[in-house]
């Protein structure tokens, strides 16, 4: 690719032809501030924070969309530039709820950080008319507070361009503009799938998950309740970011220690039920292949994807695996098998999950998720909520010792831990399905063709005389593309894995929020995914069907995969919904 040379703040910089000033500046280790910009998602130059001076230009230019040309001279830090950025921030503050101390994003707010860097205080703004505060809490998973919205449109861009849903956008015009749904519907009245990707990219506190931290702490304080917690594999790969650890740090041991000190009676691992999911799903796949069942079989671990399928591809709900997600399987086993072993009444067990996902808050209240007459899972908290809980109870996370999960529901395999990355469920299922079909032990457990952050991946594996065709999609926009190929007959598969969030659970809507400049310049998804692949590689047991706790569960309680008891506890049904039908 051809490079061209420009000057930025007097320094020569060589950058690929077609680069923007913002991209060229990063090559010179100069970070031009942004608010609205998200690479390849929201490149609209709307916020005007990234303005710079260019020699010969009649006014300041927006660096995030302004292309470079040979010999261009740029200044990013002149008094004129800094004054313009400060003025923009002052105008934003003039129509902003400035109750920073009570805001969930205080200390991790991009607007707040820019104001601090440029010396703009909460009293340094313009008085005048303000947009009325409108709070939408109609959705089960999140709250939208437009008094904190800066109209950057990052949320609507990711909803439409990445997820292909587009249930939120800019309504009205001029000063009256606000982000909302069509016809002023509450988000809970739309076909929103609760993925939370809008929350993940919001630079302020305008969007947040509905917190249940206080309810969980109240349950822990109740001596009549036995409160247990499970943690999803992706949480350990990201929680550390909330406490200053580099992206891609595994904090499993400290997380277990923190949960124990918070006061949970037992600290378990969702990896256990991820292995259980593979046992049931692999059995279901083999049954469909061998007995003429509906193919392709599509995985059912991602509740955002499930709701998307129900809304937008209702005719393909028969393709969905009837298996509950690992979160829900864990809850069902906890309030049956575990309750019996411990001599507990399921009604006295409070089952809490820590998930990288906001859609899990929707999933726990779905029909068919209460196998024992009580909800399988009572509360689902995001990774961010766990971090807030840790701070709230006064734990010093970085100094905690590393501790293990409790047995028996704390034992998981390497196959289970990779569930958190796109392609991980497929790889885990293949390890078990291939050995079951062939009756032979796999020599290489790494199905590398299904790994990676590409939005759609395909592979074919010869197994026991059958060419097994598989596909993987992450991000609902990619899911749509893949399923339209299947519906048109352009592509045929035996098995499809779909994750609602781009990159899988490691990039879930409940994971720690990283500022725009990090999201634009760092491969967060790959760094978090590597944590899981390293954990798999270092686990002495890497196949779900070799998990001794899972073997014991089937031998003493469930019988065999697909048994009547297993089906009652571990499987569910789906609903054919219409668009904009909750």
In a shared domain, residues 480 and 387: yes
Q: How many helices and strands in the chain, by DSSP H and E?
A: 21, 18
Structural Rg of the chain based on CA atoms: 25
In a shared domain, residues 304 and 427: yes
Residues 6+ apart with CB under 8 A from 121: 115
DSSP H or E segment with residue 211:
none
Residues 6+ apart with CB under 8 A from 480: 164, 312
Other beta carbons within 10 angstroms of residue 65's beta carbon come to: 15
What CATH number does the domain containing 174 carry?
3.30.70.20
> From CA 340, how far away is CA 420, in angstroms rounded?
30
Work out the angle between the directed axes of helices 326-333 and 270-291 (0-180°, nearest 10).
110
In the listed set 58, 77, 96, which residue is the last one of a domain according to the structure? Answer: 77
Specify the pLDDT at position 49.
98
Specify the pLDDT at position 484.
97
- Short-list 555, 528, 544, 512, CA closest to 244: 512
Is-above-0.85 flag for pTM? yes
- Short-list 103, 185, 192, CA closest to 155: 192
Quick check: 493 and 471 in contact, CB under 8 A? yes
- Short-list 546, 310, 555, 240, CA closest to 415: 546
DSSP H or E segment with residue 72:
none
> In the β-sheet with 466-474, what is the strand arrangement from edge to edge?
297-298, 495-499, 466-474, 456-463
**Bridge partners of residue 250, in order along the sequence:** none
What CATH number does the domain containing 378 carry?
3.40.50.1780
> From CA 37, how far away is CA 446, in angstroms rounded?
37
Residues 6+ apart with CB under 8 A from 553: 276, 333, 337, 408
In a shared domain, residues 173 and 223: no
Specify the pLDDT at position 280.
98
In a shared domain, residues 176 and 241: no
Residue 243 forms part of a structural domain: yes
Residue 413 forms part of a structural domain: yes
For 459, the 3-state DSSP assignment is strand
Quick check: 268 and 228 in contact, CB under 8 A? yes
Using 50 as the pLDDT threshold, list the residues of the chain that sit under it: none
Residue 283 forms part of a structural domain: yes
In the listed set 164, 193, 209, which residue is the last one of a domain according to the structure? Answer: 209
In the listed set 209, 238, 266, which residue is the last one of a domain according to the structure? Answer: 209
Domain span at residue 368?
214-570
Residues 6+ apart with CB under 8 A from 481: 455, 456, 473
Residue 379 forms part of a structural domain: yes
Residue 293 forms part of a structural domain: yes
Residue 71 forms part of a structural domain: yes
In a shared domain, residues 289 and 186: no
Residue 89 forms part of a structural domain: no
Residue 408, preceding peptide bond in cis (omega within 30° of 0)? yes
In a shared domain, residues 286 and 148: no
In a shared domain, residues 58 and 112: no
Residue 314 forms part of a structural domain: yes
In a shared domain, residues 198 and 289: no
Specify the pLDDT at position 127.
86
In a shared domain, residues 218 and 363: yes
In a shared domain, residues 173 and 220: no
- Short-list 299, 294, 278, CA closest to 436: 278
Q: How many domains does the chain have?
A: 3
Residue 345 CA, chain-centre distance (Å), reads 33
What CATH number does the domain containing 58 carry?
3.10.20.740
Specify the pLDDT at position 464.
87
Strands annotated E in 38-193: 51-54, 61-62, 73-75, 135-136, 142-145, 169-171, 178-180
Specify the pLDDT at position 582.
61
Quick check: 264 and 408 in contact, CB under 8 A? no
> From CA 203, how far away is CA 112, in angstroms rounded?
9
> From CA 455, how far away is CA 475, in angstroms rounded?
7
In a shared domain, residues 483 and 548: yes
Specify the pLDDT at position 130.
86
In a shared domain, residues 264 and 381: yes
């Amino acid at each position: 690719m051809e490079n061209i040379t420009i000057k930025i703040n007097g320094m020569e910089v060589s950058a690929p032809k077609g680069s923007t000033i913002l991209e060229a500046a990063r090559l010179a280790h100069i970070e031009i501030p942004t608010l609205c910009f998200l690479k390849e998602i929201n490149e609209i130059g709307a916020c005007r924070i990234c303005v710079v001076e260019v020699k010969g230009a009649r006014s300041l230019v927006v660096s995030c969309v302004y292309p470079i040309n040979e010999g261009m001279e740029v200044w990013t830090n002149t008094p004129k530039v800094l004054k313009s950025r400060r003025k923009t921030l002052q105008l934003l503050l003039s129509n902003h709820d400035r109750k920073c101390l009570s805001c969930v994003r205080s200390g991790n707010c991009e607007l707040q950080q820019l104001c601090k860097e440029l010396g703009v205080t909460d009293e340094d703004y313009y008085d005048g008319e303000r947009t009325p505060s409108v709070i939408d809490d109609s959705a089960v998973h999140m709250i939208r507070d437009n008094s904190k919205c800066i109209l950057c449109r990052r949320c609507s861009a990711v909803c439409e361009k990445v997820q292909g849903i587009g249930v939120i956008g800019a309504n009205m015009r001029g000063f009256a503009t606000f982000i909302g749904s069509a016809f002023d519907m509450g988000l809970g009245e739309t076909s929103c799938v609760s993925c939370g990707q809008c929350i993940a990219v919001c630079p302020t506190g305008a969007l947040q998950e509905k917190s249940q931290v206080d309810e969980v702490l109240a349950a822990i304080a109740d001596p009549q309740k036995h409160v247990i917690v499970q943690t999803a594999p992706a949480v350990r790969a990201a929680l550390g970011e909330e406490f200053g650890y580099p992206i891609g740090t595994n904090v499993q041991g400290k997380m277990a220690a923190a949960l124990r000190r918070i006061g949970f009676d037992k600290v378990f691992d969702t990896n256990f039920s991820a292995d259980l999911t593979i046992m049931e799903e692999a059995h279901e796949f083999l049954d469909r292949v061998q007995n003429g069942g509906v193919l392709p079989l599509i995985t059912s671990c991602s509740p955002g994807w499930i709701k998307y399928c129900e809304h937008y591809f209702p005719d393909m709900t028969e393709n969905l695996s009837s298996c509950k997600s690992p979160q829900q399987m864990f809850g069902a086993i906890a309030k049956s098998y575990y309750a019996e072993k411990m001599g507990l009444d399921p009604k006295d067990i409070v089952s809490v999950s820590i998930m990288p996902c906001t859609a899990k808050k929707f999933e726990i209240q779905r029909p068919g998720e209460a196998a024992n007459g009580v909800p399988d899972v009572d509360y689902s908290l995001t990774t961010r909520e766990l971090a807030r809980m840790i701070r709230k109870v006064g734990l010093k996370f970085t100094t905690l010792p590393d501790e293990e999960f409790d047995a028996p529901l704390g034992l998981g395999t390497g196959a289970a831990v990779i569930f958190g990355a796109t392609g991980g469920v497929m790889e885990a299922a293949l390890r078990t399905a291939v050995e079951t079909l062939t009756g032979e032990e796999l020599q290489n457990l790494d199905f590398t063709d299904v790994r990676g952050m590409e939005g759609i991946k395909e592979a074919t594996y010869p197994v026991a005389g059958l060419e097994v065709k598989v596909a993987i999609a992450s991000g609902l926009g990619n899911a749509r593309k893949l399923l339209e190929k299947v519906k048109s007959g352009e592509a045929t598969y035996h098995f499809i894995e779909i994750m609602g969030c781009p990159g899988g659970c490691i990039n879930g809507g409940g994971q720690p929020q990283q500022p725009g400049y990090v999201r634009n310049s760092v491969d967060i998804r790959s760094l978090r995914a590597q944590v899981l692949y390293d954990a798999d590689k270092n686990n002495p047991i890497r196949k779900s069907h070799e998990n001794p706790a899972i073997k014991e569960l089937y031998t003493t309680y469930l019988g065999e995969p697909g048994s009547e008891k297993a089906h009652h506890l571990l499987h569910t049904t789906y609903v054919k919904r219409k668009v904009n039908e909750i």
